[in-house]
Amino acid sequence: MTRVFVSRDSTALSLGAEQVAQSLQQLADTKGLDIEIVRNGSRGMFWLEPLVEVETSTGRVAYGPVQPEDLATLVEAGFLDGKQHVLSLGNIEEHPFFKYQNRLTFARVGLTDPVNLEDYLAHDGYRGLKNALALQPVDIVKHVTDSGLRGRGGAAFPTGIKWNTVMNAPAEQKYIVCNADEGDSGTFSDRMIMEGDPFVLIEGMTIAGLAVGATQGYIYLRIEYPHAKIALNQAIEAAYQHGYLGENIQGSGKTFHLEVRSGAGAYICGEETSLLESLEGKRGLVRFKPPLPAIVGLFGKPTIVNNVISLASIPVILDKGGEYYRDYGMGRSRGTLPLQLAGNIKHSGLFEAAFGMTLREILYDYGGGSASGRPIRAVQVGGPLGAYLHEGQFDTPLDYEAFAAIACVLGHGGIVVHDDTVNMSEMARYAMEFCVEESCGKCTPCRIGSTRGVEVIDRIVGNEQKQKNTELLRDLCDTMLCGSLCAMGGMTPYPVLSALNHFPEDFGLPTAKA
Amino acid sequence: MQDYQSQKPIVLDILASHRTMPGNLLPILHGIQDTLGYIPPAAVEDIAKDLSLSKAEVHGVISFYHYFRTTPPGKHTIRICRAESCQAMNSKALEQHAKQTLGIDFHQTTTDEQFSLEAVYCLGNCGCSPSITIDDQVHGRVTPEKFDRLVASCKGNKS
Ligand SMILES: Cc1cc2nc3c(=O)[nH]c(=O)nc-3n(C[C@H](O)[C@H](O)[C@H](O)COP(=O)(O)O)c2cc1C
Ligand code: SF4
Ligand code: FES
């Protein structure tokens, strides 16, 4: 029996992986091929999807991108024995895009059957939980603190400190909430973890529960991710069946329950307090802070709200120790960040690397430059609230502080590339429009300011009192920056001002000084 | 539009099965929309009564979330991603093409009730922009030609 891998990842499916898997099964049935098709996650090299991997005596040999009509010639060429074919990629783990990564959080994604618990265990799964079960809560939290892990959801707040606060908050009931609302354009690492290795998130949340004494967890999953929901629920069910969730986890006497809840298409529900409101069944209005969710969170109880990647990085930290994780990275940005390459880029996909690589390296050495072959002009990092970087900033290292120093954010590690056909006044206008569309409406600078922002940009571009309106736009951005309750209104000025400052010619204004 | 009396038992059933769930309003609304395709405005009163909320509160929740709809959708729902990564790969042209060939704008349904068109902000498929979904299927690198093929195959499919 030969094992053949065809991904079930959404992106692979969006390029036809389902048809490839089905056609392969049909071909196997008619030709009597002795194969088992495993539906794995994605290796994250999207330009090669649908990727087909064959397990041979010398390792996994890959072919891609494969369309159903290629299967007949693949069989003829002897792909089940790893033989040559025009679509041959050799051992996929030797591919430069894959080989030079530091896959800690994504170690198993693309390798294993995501919902097969045995496969998870065979690839070092649940070793972190095993260690955690033998530790006191303070020691679990200490590992997390020592690792230097900072929240991967955007604000980069130290995870250990958050956990410590919840651990020390006395309460009958506490909660672990996973923020799986991943709404930023150019980000898909949360989705890839949930579809490609859901157990690692479940394990991370269970460890969080042990650390702070929470017995109930919720994954707040955006509605746009139906495949992630299926994979998560399959994995949760398997974990319950084998005593990794529920009462008396692995005979320890500890309890942790986990449930997936669907969002309903509101970007603001990614903001943690808005998310909690939504989980409670209300409109997703942002709450004033303090009190922090760590003290008064879900249903008024102490709650950890962490991003998917933050929680999915916990198992390796508890398995190998905080120091091991900390040894990756630079400065105060420790460990690894799964970078997501999107937009107009040749080699789009996910690249997990230690902090410190430059943007230029990732764009050109690994990303292969633009997809259109035209010069890269502007790159937005950190989602719709992130600034646009221009060519002169591409040597900035990917590090939270280095980005902050140039008024940019790393956020969730999403990198969206635009070539030189982009019109940056349109992107600035879109940023304001997005804020109009997605503002929770609680505060005026964000709710009204964004609408005014769209109008003012239109006037600048339409040559109406250019100078005066440009000043007005800057004023407005200042008001939004200072007067907004959360980062939705508070950071929308980032993309707008960066577009205006670096690409004024697109607004019909004099070119910026170099 | 369907008469609410025939839908009411389904709504009451969904309410009953979520009674003990903490924070149950969104799951209830999802349950109703999954089953009926939309949330009938007449259901608001039943939901409010069951959860001891005011009708305004329930209505406020439904209208806050882009995903919930209060009118029946077409047979197929097409969602086009309008976010940055897809824009970088020319989603604007795709949007134009879709509106033109379907003859509708966002949030509208074709007169033959075959297709509803919705805007969406990122499908997490940004590595293969531009992206759309048709019902629950994601499609990447969608050109106007690919769009036409996908729409045609929906029409061919009798289900
Ligand atoms: C408008 C807005 C949207 C956000 N969206 C997300 C999101 O989709 N996912 C996420 O993990 N964090 C998001 N955040 C950040 C969360 O508020 C919060 O900082 C995070 O969930 C904390 O988890 P972490 O410490 O593990 O990053 C968003 C914040 C704002 C202001
Ligand atoms: S800044 Fe915008 S999204 Fe944030 S609380 Fe204010 S109105 Fe709501
Ligand atoms: S921006 Fe369109 S799928 Fe993410």
DSSP string across A40-94: ----SBGGGPSPEEEEETTEEEEE-S--GGGHHHHHHHTGGGT---TTEEEEGGG
Strand partners, A262: A221
CA end-to-end span of chain B: 21
Q: Whose CA is closest to B26, among A444, A33, A276, A339?
A: A276
CA distance A514 to A367: 26
Which one of A186, A225, A299 has the shortest CB-CB distance to B85? A186
Tokens of B10: 């389904």
**CA gap A24, A29 in Å, rounded:** 9
CB of A437 less than 8 A from some CB of B: yes
A13 with B25: Cβ contact below 8 A: no
Length of chain B: 159
- How far apart are the C-alpha atoms of A511 and B1, rounded to whole Å? 57
Q: What does the angle CA A468 – CA A469 – CA A471 come to, to the nearest 5 degrees?
A: 70
Residue A259 has pLDDT above 60, yes or no: yes
For residue B152, pLDDT over 80 is answered with: yes
State the pLDDT at residue A298: 98
- Classify strands B76-81 and A414-419 as parallel, antiparallel or unpaired: unpaired
Which atom in ligand 3 lies closest to the alpha carbon of residue A187? 4
ipTM of the complex: 0.97
pLDDT at A88: 97
Q: For B121-133, what is the mean pLDDT?
A: 97
Neighbouring-strand partners of residue B78:
B117, B134
pTM: 0.97
CB spacing of B121 vs A264 below 8 angstroms: no
Question: Sign of the CA dihedral A24, A30, A31, A32?
Answer: positive
Measure the CA–CA gap between A342 and A185, rounded to whole angstroms. 9
pLDDT tens digit sequence for A112-171: 999 999 999 999 999 999 999 999 999 999 999 999 999 999 999 999 999 999 999 999
Closest listed residue to residue A314, CA positions, set A143, A479, A170: A143
Average pLDDT for A304-308: 98
Tokens of B12: 């009451």
Model confidence at A468, pLDDT cuts 50, 70, 90, reads very high
Ligand 1 pocket member A157 (CB < 6 A):
yes
pLDDT at B159 over 60: no
* Other Cβ atoms closer than 10 A to A441: 14
Question: Which chain A residues are within 8 Å of B125, Cβ to Cβ?
Answer: 10-11, 14, 188
Looking at all shown ligands, the one closest to residue A485's CA atom is: 2
Peptide bond into B144 cis (omega under 30): no
Give the containing element (helix H, strand E) for A488: helix A487-491
Contacts of residue A371 in chain B, CB cutoff 8 Å?
89
User: What pLDDT is recorded for position A512?
Assistant: 65
Amino acid A346: pLDDT: 98
In the sheet with A35-38, reading across from the earlier edge strand, the strands are A35-38, A2-6, A52-56, A59-63, A88-91
Mean pLDDT of the residues in chain A: 97
| pLDDT at residue B155, as a whole number | 86
Q: What is the mean pLDDT of residues A208-234?
A: 98
CA atoms of A417 and B90, how far apart (whole Å): 12
Question: What is the mean predicted confidence (pLDDT) over A262-278?
Answer: 98
Across the range A326-352, mean pLDDT stands at 98
What's the pLDDT score for residue A511?
Answer: 86
Q: How many CB atoms lie within 10 A of CB A109?
A: 26
DSSP code for B111 = T
Mean predicted confidence (pLDDT) in A349-355 = 98
Per-residue pLDDT tens digits for A65-102: 999 999 999 999 999 999 999 999 999 999 999 999 99
DSSP A237-282: HHHHHTTSSBSSGGGSS--BEEEEEE--S-GGGGSHHHHHHHHTTS
Inform me whether the pLDDT recorded for B1 exceeds 80: no
Residue-level pLDDT at A507: 98
Q: Is the pLDDT of residue A513 over 90?
A: no
Distance CA A287, CA A280 (A): 13
Q: Is B114 on the interface with A (CB under 8 A)?
A: no
**pLDDT, tens digit (0-9, with 9 covering 90-100), for B113-126:** 999 999 999 999 99
Q: Which single residue is written with the structure tokens 């990647």? A: A309
Q: Which of A14, A277, A339, A422 to mutate to test the interface with B (most CBs of B within 10 A)?
A: A14
From A13, A15, A185, give the residue whose CB has the most ligand 3 atoms within 8 Å, as the site to mutate: A185
CB atoms inside a 10 Å sphere around CB A462? 11
Average pLDDT over residues A390-404: 97
Return the axis-axis angle of helices B25-36 and B4-17, rounded to nearest 10°: 140
Q: What is the mean pLDDT of residues A483-491?
A: 97
pLDDT of residue B136: 87
Give per-residue pLDDT as tens, A357-373. Answer: 999 999 999 999 999 99
By alpha-carbon position, which residue is closest to atom 8 of ligand 2? Answer: A440
pLDDT at A375 over 80: yes
- The mean pLDDT value for A439-463 works out to 97
C-alpha distance from residue A281 to each of A220, A275, A446 (Å): 12, 10, 24
pLDDT at A8 over 90: yes
Give per-residue pLDDT as tens, A96-115: 999 999 999 999 999 999 99
Q: Pick from A261, A343, A427: which is nearest to B89 by CB? A: A343
Chain B, 61 to 100: residues with Cβ < 8 Å from chain A are 61, 64-68, 83-89
Q: Which two tokens stand for residue B119?
A: 């805007």
Instruction: Quickly count: other Cβ atoms within 10 Å of residue A191's Cβ.
Output: 28
